[in-house]
Amino acid sequence: MNSCVSYAHGPAMDLAPDRNDSSVEPVDHARAIARDTATLRSQLRDLIAILALPALWSGRDAAHIAEALLDVLSSMLRLDLAYIRAPDPSGSGPSETVRVQGRPDLGGRGREIASRLAEGTTGIDANETLVLPDPATREPLRATRIALKLAGHTGVVVAASRRSGFPTSFERFLLGSIITEAEVALRNAALMTALHHALQREQVARADAEAANRAKDLLNEELERRVVERTRQLSLINQELRGEIAERKRSEQALRESEQRFRDYAETASDWLWETGPDHFFTRVSEETTTLGIDPARRIGVTRWDFATDVEEEPEKWRLHVATLEAHQPFRGFVYRIAGADGSAVYIATSGKPVFYADGRFLGYRGVSSDVTAAVRAEQVEKALHQAQAELARVSRVTTLGELAASIAHEVNQPLAAIGADANACLNWLAADKPDLDRVRQALTAIVKDGDRAGGVITRIRTLLSGAPVAHEPCDFTGVIRDVLPLVGPEIGRHGIVLQTSLAPDLPQVTGDRIQLQQVLLNLLLNAAEAMREVPSQRRRLVVRSTVEDRDDGAWAVVAVEDAGVGFGEAEAPRLFEAFYTTKPGGLGMGLSISRSIIESHRGRLWATANPDHGATFHLALPGMR
């Protein structure tokens, strides 16, 4: 028992005072009779009030009865502290209620004190008087406990007062009677609650049963309808199933064949796996390296650059690779050369990813390598082919300029002759007694102009003859056309051909090599002039036209070279751009083939169409810069 509670036993108080004391004077005896009479009346009222409690608590729930019980006890027994802990028959846990006289704010403290007193409710002695502190003043209170029994569960009621004679025998009687009535009322309340819940459950069950019956009827109707419909569908489904089974068998067979095919691919793949440590020495190499005639065990304990054969040839490549490894960065597609089992060059492409411990320490690299010798050699062959094509294009330019030798000589000779004539005139004017300096100045200006003209012709020729590497850069396509026209002008005029131009002012810039584009235009113009040598002079008309064409991927520059020459037939059309195919006597058949290769390397297109009347038109299209 807690230290704040103590026990005190005293004599039981009788229901009426003792009247056999002969020492009491008559006056005092009369007063005692009056006092006893008042006490009996008060006790009778309390008993009557107790008899009225069942009617007062009828129909109330357990919580309300507990509250009302404390109110009755506090008022009828003039308690300073009243506490009840009533068990809940449903098993949800006991409920506690407390009253502290005049101090509702101390209910929590009173509950704490009384609950200690209520501990150990087994074997409670109703005649036992206890002492506990007042929650408000800490003064000692005399208290008693009475067990509260409900359907196998035991609660407790604690009543306490600061009166020294509390509880009297009558107060114990009242307390027991009230508790008995409360037990009956709480049992009735529990029964009513259980009955109410049972009625609710019965109503819910009845409603559920009715709903289930209705649903059952609807379900039966729906089932009958579905059976009829399903029977009809099953006959159709059976037919479909036969077809699906046959199709599934075919699919399964195809799947097995596909799985076997990919299994063969995986088993015959040339890739192999590797691992390196923090010092970049190989720690593991898979067995696939044996396909190259390389023993995996001989790679353990060495670095990649220890057996590579291109370290001295490409030191910068290896320096950057080692720097990547030291920085613990991933790498992809690093290509290097090694010596194969027969001493031949083998090219390896490798990719790796750094691996770290959980604490961040560098563990090494893991990656995959593959034999790319065939791809590297193909790239080398392609590079050599491009170089050969460039040389062939240069030879073609030289050959073309050779064909224009007479025209070029005439183009250069005109400004040189004019320079000579102007120089002689200057000498004559300067030899006079009064030199005409204004005319001399005009002549010298003409000499400078003609010199620039001749120099421009020589510059364009040197550019076409240069062997500079191909450089794709922003290029003014209209300027390319204007640079080529003066070179072919004398040749065209020599054959009596009328040249007409229609150039779009807003032709977009293209990305390409200026020299190669000039070569293509020069070849198309000379071919057009050659095609009109044998036609009547009135038909000899050459048109150069440029337009802008809007496509889904942007603006394109389109140039058309139209002639009125002999043209080509339907049988010749598919072979016009074939190498070594020509319709000209003594021609090599390389010009159009080289021209198409150049345009396709610029992501463009070159094609030819036959004119409705005479001749042909060659079209050249290049994408504009974005």
In three state form, how does the secondary structure of 229-274 look? Answer: HHHHHHHHHHHHHHHHHHHHHHHHHHHHHHHHHHHHHHHCCCCEEE
**CATH 3.30.450.20 residue ranges in the chain?**
272-371
Segment 113-139 shows an average pLDDT of 65
Q: What percent of the chain has pLDDT over 70?
A: 75
Architecture of domain 404-469 in CATH? Orthogonal Bundle (1.10)
**CATH 3.30.565.10 residue ranges in the chain?**
471-626
**CATH 1.10.287 residue ranges in the chain?**
404-469
Taking CA 282 as the corner, what is the angle to CA 278 and CA 288, rounded to the nearest 5 degrees? 145
Cβ atoms 14, 133 nearer than 8 A = no
Give which of 47, 64, 49, 77 is closest to 185, Cα–Cα. 64
Segment 558-567 shows an average pLDDT of 90
Q: Which of 177-186, 286-295, 323-332, 511-520 reaches the highest mean pLDDT? A: 323-332
Sign of torsion over alpha carbons 513, 518, 519, 524: positive
pTM (2 d.p.) = 0.35
Which residues are 147's β-sheet partners?
156
Give me the CATH code for the 272-371 domain, please. Answer: 3.30.450.20
- Residue 428 pLDDT > 90: no
**CATH 3.30.450.40 residue ranges in the chain?**
6-19+26-189
Give me the CATH code for the 6-19+26-189 domain, please. Answer: 3.30.450.40
Q: Which of 22-26, 164-168, 448-452 reaches the highest mean pLDDT? A: 164-168
Superfamily per CATH, domain 471-626: Histidine kinase-like ATPase, C-terminal domain (3.30.565.10)
Per-residue pLDDT band for 558 (boundaries 50, 70, 90) equals very high
Per-residue pLDDT band for 242 (boundaries 50, 70, 90) equals confident
- Cis amide linkage into residue 167, ω under 30° from 0: yes
Segment 148-160 shows an average pLDDT of 75
Cβ atoms 393, 519 nearer than 8 A = yes
- Residue 589 pLDDT > 50: yes
